[in-house]
Amino acid sequence: MSFDSGFLWLAIFPGVPYLIYRLQDVTFLWALCAIVLLWLLYIIVQKILSFLVIDDLDKRAVFITGCDTGFGNLLTIKCLQRGMPVFAGCLTENGASALKKAAEFLPGKLETIIVDVASDESVVKAAAYLDKATEQYGGLHAVVNNAGIVGSSFFDDMLTTKDYKTVAEVNTFGVIRVTQATKHLVKKTRGRVVTVASICARIGIMGLGPYTVSKFAVSGYCEVIRQELRYFGVSVHILEPGFFRTPLIDEKIVQARLDEMWKTVPEPVKEEYGEKFFRESRERATDMLHKIGSPHVHLVVDAYFHAITARFPHLRYQIGNDSKFLFIPLSYLPTGARDALFALGEKISGAPVPENALQKYATPKATSIIIDDTMSNSSNGS
């Protein structure tokens, strides 16, 4: 469907019910009303069921990765407040110590495990510890794949395959490593695998290449194992948050990371884009992340907790207004229409454009050659 015809349907559709009414097609109108009522009933029933919670939370052991800071840290605290036993995977000793101190007087039992999800050896070692430590709980009720990084992010021309691999080792292969190493413990309890993807797993955002690629991949992995693990009574759940104000998008950290990346960009690429383009884009990116990033991080933590403890958890959680009302609707548009809206938004907002790209790759203009008739004739006569 073309760009124009796609929007034409939006104009036509509201007029259909009125047209049917004018044609006095009562049967169709009753059918339409029945469909609407059934849809509303489904929404209401789903909402009611979402409030039902599983029993014996104090016996439901959970393993959470990425607990040094951010969502993983807050989720650990929330689970402990509800009396759940938590095995918190931390990357650093400092992170583990700070978490233990914060959870000192909470009713749930906390054990920290130093684990680097980007390392096969580290994950295998953590899994071996969990094998013994979870015997008293009959296994793991849930594995929560929360650990993640943004890594180097800017235009693909300025990145290397190493940048993509670095992010994928944590965001994609880290999820696969942890899930494969611990899912036998989840099978024992017929439990759950909960993984954070991103709204970037639904729609590509310019300048976030490595992160977007890793999240598309992890979403695909979860889609596959959800179907495979249902044979064992294990459910798989995906979180798709928008942008939230966590250390991942801290303004100073993002700018410092971009500055380091720019130093390594080859000179020909720097000439194509220009210093001015980089500086303006850097400021624009950090400003956008600050404005669009929600401070309500508890929404993500609540979604995690619901996926762990609800009797009827959702298979996918869209979290944040930008996720629900901007990126998800955009993801359903025809690709051409979506690209056109992005281009229009850039033009209206005055987004910077690479300085020399158009000139460098422009089609060469035809040049005319002027021949002096006198010299030509004299050459012919010689």
Among the listed residues 137, 164, 211, 317, the single catalytic one is: 211
What size, in residues, is the chain? 382
The one-character DSSP state at 356 is S
Beta bridge partners of 301: none
Which of 247, 340, 329 lies closest to 293 in space, CA to CA?
247
Torsional sign, CA 326, 329, 331, 334: negative
Our answer to whether residue 211 is catalytic in this structure is: yes
The one-character DSSP state at 202 is T
H or E element: which one contains 238? strand 235-241
Dihedral, CA atoms, 192, 113, 219, 323, nearest 10 degrees?
90
**Sequence-separated (6 or more) residues with CB below 8 Å from residue 26:** none
The two tokens of residue 374 are 């006198």
Burial per residue of 34-71, b for 16 or more beta-carbon CB atoms within 10 angstroms, e otherwise: eeeeeeeeeeeeeeeeeeeeeeebeebbbbbbbbbbbb
**Sequence-separated (6 or more) residues with CB below 8 Å from residue 279:** none
Query: Residue 182 and residue 146: Cα distance in Å, rounded?
Result: 14
SS3 94: helix
- Interhelix angle for 15-22 vs 3-12, to 10°? 50
Cβ(152)–Cβ(210) below 8 Å: yes
Phi, psi at 145, each rounded to 5°: -85, 95
Q: Residue 119: left if φ>0, alpha if ψ -120 to 50, beta else—which one?
A: beta
Which residues are catalytic, by number?
Answer: 211
